[in-house]
Structure 1
Amino acid sequence: MKYFLISFFFHFFYSSVILSNDIYETNFHKIEITNENISIAKVREINKIKIISIENIFDKILTKSEKNKLKRLDNLDQSLEYLIKNIIIENEFISKNIYKADIKINYDKDKIINLFRSNKINYSDIQSPIFLIVATEEKALTYNGLSINNSFYNYDINIENNLVQFILPDLSPNDRFITPYNKIVNMDLASLSKLSNKYQSNHILLIYLKHQDNIIVLDLNLFSLKEKNITFIKKLNFPILSDYHPKLYEFINNWWKINNLIDNSEINQIMCEIQNENIEELYLINLKINSLSQIKSNIVNKIKFQKNNNKITFYGNYKMLFYGLSQNNLDIKINKSDQCIIKLAS
């Protein structure tokens, strides 16, 4: 019955989470070389882009501790060169003294995952659901909720390199009517549910901000629309005059990764019946299973008409496997006999 319990937990929290195909994607970088040896300078600039690009990927999917573990590996520089899939150069301009181009370094996802596996480095390539951020602020006998007077909202969110996705409320009169200050601080579930429905976000990050002596005290909580409950995450303290937003979002991103790691030191197996209507559907289901980064092997154990039995070996726990399958448009169910059944989602 352990699979059933895991499946139940997974269903309510991960139903709105999305698996991004862009996690391992890199960007183009513009370079311009003037009055230098172009051949030498071009190699130098490409090497800089290599480092920036792979660091961005690592920052997305590794916690701080796992990244430190990676940096301690012997011959890491050689390993990073091996990870390169290709180099794309566009809009190239060459003259006697000037070189310009847009350069993109693509890295091989499978090679990155194999590097992690061989060195027992855990990672998360799971993008969060969209979190609506609802903050209150208590400062010098003033109390602000969903208002432009709340200094928390005087900051632009930059989440380009994060797994966590945020949206901010409009701070409109309607927001304050639905969820006034007192209902936020009293954690009124009905009011928060209405706001959550308005913004089509199943999860709200509740931030209670208090200016106290020489520090900013921040309570971070998570509201779940489906469960109609609030979970305490962490109390954080920041210096009173500090720009705390970057550190806060860094903490939230790291919190998300820690709670959604694929543990490469843990290998599990599960026998699943693959239900299908025809051979094309069977092929598609197996293709989707094999595309998950945590899958080690997917082997047919027994052939039966429209109900093959497969042995799936995977890294990490069952929760992360179930998540990956569901986000690949597959239904996975554990019946009362602890039998695993996988089919295309309807």
Structure 2
Amino acid sequence: MLADLSQDELLPRLQTLVYLLASVAIGILMYDQYRQGLYPLVLTNAIAIPAFVFSAIFIYINRDRDSFSWVNYPLIFTLAALALYQLPQYPQLMTHYLYALPLFSYFCLPLYPATVFNVVVAVLMTLLLWIDHGFMLALRTGTNYSLLLGSAWCFAYLTLLKGWSLKRLALTDQTSGAYNRRHFFHALTREIARSESTRHSVSLIGLVIDDYRQLIDIHGNRVMSQFLPRFVERTQRQIRAGDDVFRLADDLFVLILPNCPEDGAIVLMERVKRTLQQQAWKPFAEISISASAVGLQMGEDSKDLEKRLSAKLKKQKRASLQLAAFAD
């Protein structure tokens, strides 16, 4: 069941489980501290249990919303405050308690807030130990905490970088750098749903590189692999900030234009087509582009709109071939 969940859906459920297990672990620790007569620690840790339980319940209730993550901030601040409060009285026990904060904070918070939080905790911990227990203990503890912080930061950063790379691989075409066909239907479905609620139009522009296979036969795959990223980049320069470029086939690129009627898409299409055909594309002498534009009609979904654009491109292609044959 967990394997079917995405990362965004899995994270709140995992945090809920970890917080409940942490509250149970603190309860067992409190019992051991009570047996040893460490009553101030028992009372301090007793505050952490309801904080963990409340956070777990809140995150589970809001697991399908974006608001679940804010509760992690007061939880982490509460845990750090409890440890720092008891640090002068129980330096050895609270130091080992604080050593767990770097990894735990990067599990709960984004990278930048977690880093700022850990740096503040390291400074406060070092100052408190310096004032009450001397410079050497403060230096040794601060150094150990800094090493743990650096290791946790590297692990969190590499995990984040891996997530970015996997997302990029999943959403983009590796040759051209444009978004891929799978992401196209997801993005178009989202824009159609948004247009239904805002009453704004959505349009598509299709760009087909004519004689694509012939260009490959003449210049080779390597030259085309170098050409396509430049083609996408210059296409993006001609469109608005909210518009996206998608590669649906080897020679077919489609632009999604939110909040753009069909007549506006036609004007933009002519400008993009003219600009791209007038560019100098070494080693090509020139390139020819076929283009069409369609606007969303009432009751259409993403598949219907894409099929209508493809049919219009094919019809235009046949007309161009017939015109060229007649001219010959």
* Superposition TM-score, scaled by structure 1 size: 0.16
Quick check: which one's strand share is greater? 1
Q: Which has the larger radius of gyration?
A: 2
* Superposition TM-score, scaled by structure 2 size: 0.17
- Higher relative contact order, structure no. (Cα contacts within 8 Å, ≥ 6 residues apart): 1
